[in-house]
Structure 1
Amino acid sequence: MLKLFRFLRPYKWSVALIMALVLLQSLSGLYLPTLMSDIVDKGVIQGDTGYILRVGGYMLLVTLGGAAVSVLASFYSSRVSSSFGRDVRGKLFGHVEQFSLQEFDKVGTASLITRTTNDVTQVQGVLMMILRLMTMAPMMCIGGLIMALSKDAKLTLVLAVALPVLALTIWAIASRGIPLFRQIQKKLDKLNLVLRENLTGIRVIRSFNRLEHEKKRFREANGDLMDTSIRVNQIMALLMPMMMLIMNFVQIAIIWFGGLRISDGDMQVGDLMAFLQYAMQIMFSLLMLSMMFVMVPRASASAVRINEVLEIDPVIQDDSRSENRLANRSGGLVEFDNVTFSYPGAEQPAVENISFRAQPGEVTAIIGGTGSGKSTLLNLIPRFYDVASGSIRIDGIDVREYTQEQLRAKIGLVPQKAVLFTGTIEDNIRYGKDDATEEEVRHAADVAQASEFISKMPDGFASVLAQGGTNVSGGQKQRLSIARALVRRPDIYLFDDSFSALDYKTDARLRAALLQETTDASVIIVAQRVSTIMDADRIIVLDEGKIAGIGNHRELMASCDVYREIVMSQLSEEEIA
């Protein structure tokens, strides 16, 4: 957890102010028993009412001063801990944004969400307690011991016996609870994973009548978390009764031996009362520390998980030397040169020995069976993954020599699964180009064949899309995704099976409009439907990650068995002819 405290550097003066305020609060608390002792010994016993009122008024001022600095300390500790939480969340989010898909696959989306939210909240809450309680507790403990010694040194032998017993009790209980706190965070990850899958896959779950199965999965994950939480709470619940038991025995011992010293004339009644209060302050300071033992283990487990993410170095990083050298290059020639790529942990390459060129002004199509590596090829162009061997060049420059920002500025990607964001339709199209004019947005929608359904919506382009675009159909989502890529006017268009939800008529109109719009750009289309790519300038046929054939439709029909099988399975003899 100490590693995360580097984020406190901007607030070092605020932390110093909190320490000073806590010190003043502790001093006021330590001074009050001495004043009370004076009231008893010099005021009550001697019957001096004026002295009682005078010192009592002074006690009231000290109490008010202590309350004031306590409020200020609470305010600043809350402010610093909240700012710390904000900074850590921002750092986590910014770092995760640099991850390649490989890192996302490794950590898991559900775990990243938990670490950015719940784990940061755990550390933030403990930080606030550290700034207040963990600072005050040592001050009160040490100060209480000094003041107790000043009242009666021999009576402090009671504390010399009690404090080690108390410390051992705290250690024995906390050492059993710490491993369970680590388990809780992992089981919370599992619960979030199950919940996320249920919420995102609710249509599939209902369509297959798997509600009871999913309820069982959730009950098991939820019950597992509950069982572990109960176990750790049962262990930590022993702490308070044990502490109170020891504290009560300490009070009895102090009163017993203190009474004997008073009867011998070695101690006054006021001093005994003050000593008893100092003893309780010392014990309560240890009680505060024990409360920290309840929170710190869980926060430590959370801090470890946060640091794990922050310490992951993205596999894909920019070559800073290329920023100026390639800043003004333009064009759209894409070349694959003997490219091989394997997913982490896979036994076989996803694609192997792939070589082809996609020229500006031409349409290059990729087709093949499920799992043949079509989408993988597209993901390699914007460097979502890096090739294992070979190279991918854009305008003669290896993609690894571009910065990621430069590279992706040249690309307009329409993913296989259309992703829309909460906001208006106009906002979603403008996501491809922040400074797009209203005319550019509408032109992109026209080309994508989206204007017709947008005009029928109540607010047109200002219509609000629900989370994930659930208030539009699959085909409408695809057309809005295509419009988002078109408004960017990139050098390279990547369409990853982006026409699958369109009817044949809309598909044909859209492809015709795209031909007019993309005359100077390279267009690479991944498709399952032969009708979508029959007119492409170049068709690449993939089979089990390897190229089975390259050519236009007629050439492949004559030379490629794999392509011919795909065509025969989709088109009638009349359509083929």
Structure 2
Amino acid sequence: MQQDDAFSKDFDAKLARRVLRYLKPYQAITVLVLVAALLLAVLQPLFGLLQRHAIDCYLVQTPGVRCEALNNTPEALFNALLLLAAAYLGLKLFEFGLRYGFTYALSWIGQHVLYDIRSDLFSKLQRLHLGYYDKNPVGRLITRVTSDVDAINMFITNGLAALVTSTFLILAYMIIMISLDWRLALISFTVLPVLFWVTAFFRRHLRDAYRNTRIRQAIVNTQLNENITGMLTVQLFNREGRNQVKFDLANRAFLRSLIDSVKWFSLFMPTVQLLAQVAVGAVLYYAGNQILVGAGVTLGTLVAFIGWVTQLFQPIQDLADVLNNLQAAMASSERIFGVLDTEEEIKDPERPHKLEGFRGQVDLEGVWFAYDTSVTATTPDSDERWTLRGIDLHIRPGESVALVGATGAGKTSIISLVSRFYDVQRGAVKVDGHDVRAYAQHDLRKHIGVVLQDVFLFAGTIESNLRLGDESIPLERIVQACKYVGVHDFIMSLPDGYKSEVRERGATLSTGQKQLLAFARALIQNPDILLVLDEATASVDTETELQIQEALTKVMAGRTSIIIAHRLSTIEHCDRIVVMRKGRVVEQGSHLELLARGGYYSKLYQLQYAGQGASLASD
């Protein structure tokens, strides 16, 4: 269970105000909704009054009841009843139109609030630094944007509507009942204390059941996401059976929590209805005795009270449901605002430095860096959590530099710092003489092209993946770049050429094809600094490797290039090779200079080409 999956409070006024703040753009419609709710509440008791009037004045003609003067002829009574029925039907039609408008307007508000919250969440997730995603599973974040937002929408469209209408209805019924016959009203209200106790009892159990359900749902979502995204590994290592058992355990726990909530809700509904019938029985007994002895209670009053008592318990029951919806909304809003309130550790400065005449010079000056956010500039140098330790590295404009070293030496961290996916704890990373923190992230990154080993392709066409949503890029430029890196012929061999559909993550393409597309994509963006991460030529055949190497050489021409490599043969042509070990630079120079020096790089090179296989991590 994750900490933020639990509820901290039943109700939080601050969270409620933040949720209701989303109604501000829709104030006018909200006011109309409140007016409609008030009118609906006033209308409901009127139907009982019309029924009472029809019985006491026209059907039974109870003595002592004030009625309009009529000839006691069948025709006159029939016409009066017809007029009353028409008024009754007219009110029902008015109620129908009013309720339709109320329901539609409230749902319209709820859907727009849902849209606004989801938009804010997605925008926030776009701005959060990569370190946030290192700590938060994708399944939990998807739950925030889907299920949690839906819970708030349910509260606004159902819970808030019931809260307003039920409150107005209860007041309307109580006022009309007390004003008509205070004795019958008090008898009707005798079961209310029991109802409130029952409601509190069931609400507590429903709240606990719902909390458990939300937690179990998040676990199921997380496991489902992991299993789908890692399907290749699942099938490769025959994990289907074990993953099925693991998912079944989580799914069964989710099922049990749902059944538990259904159990309490199933008990709650008939209990409230039973109490309502107890109240009806008490009214029927007392009013019946009063009618028999002629003590002032009329048959019409009895019929009206029976209807009002039954109807009174419905909004009270709805209020209990509102409390459950409110608690669910509080839980969801707590998690949603937890995301929205997450500090954006990578922020643009208030007055960013303008990138003009970009040259592509990169300098790392005394850089100390750790992925653990608890590590600060005052953390001792001996702390093992440091990933980079006092790195000084200066790369000239247009120079190609390769980073080599064991896994965990800090190579990829340098790439991430240059792109400003993370910030250093000590020292500075500079581009063109200015700290990267002085630039706007968008301005900095549009000058940087990245080619990953695991190329990510979005669902869509090849063309859309190459232009990355930038419609200002002409197709001619895309075709030229693809020809330059040698992937144009492959694209044209597809049925629809550049319009060919690419499945999610490029599932229908080979590793080499995706790598070439990545080089073309980087070239289309025309970056001044090229970053190639973690051996872009890994896991491909020799012919494709040569093609990728040729494409890499072309793309690097005239650009500042930083390449991470494990196979040393791929970086022999680089201007400089920087050798890293345990977060420090231990050697740097050209390929031949480092071999002649006979140091760490020479040892790595000999291990690779002596047929023993390079095991960098073992050193």
Q: What TM-score comes out, normalization by structure 1 length?
A: 0.95
Q: What's 1:338 paired with? A: 366
8 Å contact kept, 1:4–1:303: yes
1:226 corresponds to 2:255: yes
| Secondary structure at the counterpart of residue 330 of structure 1 | coil
Give the AA of the match of 2:23: L
| Worse-matched range after superposition: 274-283 or 426-435 | 426-435
8 Å contact kept, 1:134–1:292: yes
- What is the alpha-carbon distance in structure 2 between the residues aligned to residue 339 and residue 520 of structure 1? 27
Q: What's 2:108 paired with? A: 79
1:40 shift after superposition: 0.4
| Worse-matched range after superposition: 343-352 or 295-304 | 343-352
8 Å contact kept, 2:436–2:444: yes
Q: What's 1:258 paired with? A: 287
Q: What's 1:561 paired with? A: 599
Match of 1:310 among 301, 319, 340: 340
What residue ranges of structure 2 are gaps of 5+ in the alignment? Answer: 1-14, 62-71, 376-383, 612-619
Q: What's 2:580 paired with? A: 542
Give the AA of the match of 1:128: T
8 Å contact kept, 2:515–2:548: no
8 Å contact kept, 2:387–2:409: yes
- What is the alpha-carbon distance in structure 2 between the residues aligned to residue 6 and residue 188 of structure 1? 28
Q: What's 1:124 paired with? A: 153
1:276 corresponds to 2:313: no
1:408 corresponds to 2:445: yes
Match of 1:440 among 473, 477, 490: 477
Q: What's 1:477 paired with? A: 514
1:91 shift after superposition: 0.6
1:131 shift after superposition: 4.2
8 Å contact kept, 2:159–2:326: no
| Secondary structure at the counterpart of residue 385 of structure 2 | coil
8 Å contact kept, 1:445–1:483: yes
Q: What's 2:66 paired with? A: none
The CA deviation string for residues 295-318 of structure 1, in whole angstroms up to 9 with x for no partner, is 332232112111111111211111
8 Å contact kept, 1:366–1:527: yes
Q: What's 2:501 paired with? A: 464
1:286 corresponds to 2:316: yes
- Match runs of 1:62-461 below 5 Å: 62-262=91-291, 263-322=293-352, 325-344=353-372, 347-431=384-468, 433-461=470-498
Give the AA of the match of 1:522: T
State the identity as a percent.
29
Give the AA of the match of 2:320: S
The 1:509–1:421 alpha-carbon spacing in structure 2 relative to 1, beyond 3 Å, is same
8 Å contact kept, 1:447–1:514: no
Q: What TM-score comes out, normalization by structure 2 length?
A: 0.89
Q: What's 1:10 paired with? A: 25
- What is the alpha-carbon distance in structure 1 between the residues aligned to residue 598 and residue 104 of structure 2? 74
8 Å contact kept, 2:405–2:580: yes
What residue ranges of structure 1 are gaps of 5+ in the alignment? Answer: none
8 Å contact kept, 1:420–1:468: yes
Moved over 6 A (4+): none
- What is the alpha-carbon distance in structure 1 between the residues aligned to residue 456 and residue 179 of structure 2? 72
8 Å contact kept, 1:507–1:532: no
| Worse-matched range after superposition: 429-438 or 7-16 | 429-438
Count of residues paired in the alignment: 571
The 1:367–1:504 alpha-carbon spacing in structure 2 relative to 1, beyond 3 Å, is farther
1:499 shift after superposition: 2.2
| Worse-matched range after superposition: 439-448 or 312-321 | 439-448
1:560 shift after superposition: 5.5
- What is the alpha-carbon distance in structure 1 between the residues aligned to residue 524 and residue 135 of structure 2? 33
| Secondary structure at the counterpart of residue 190 of structure 2 | helix
Q: What's 2:68 paired with? A: none
- What is the alpha-carbon distance in structure 2 between the residues aligned to residue 501 and residue 172 of structure 1? 62
8 Å contact kept, 1:99–1:316: yes
Give the AA of the match of 1:562: Y
The CA deviation string for residues 3-62 of structure 1, in whole angstroms up to 9 with x for no partner, is 222111111111111112222222221211001100000010136222211111111100
Give the AA of the match of 1:65: F
Give the AA of the match of 2:515: Q
| Secondary structure at the counterpart of residue 238 of structure 1 | helix
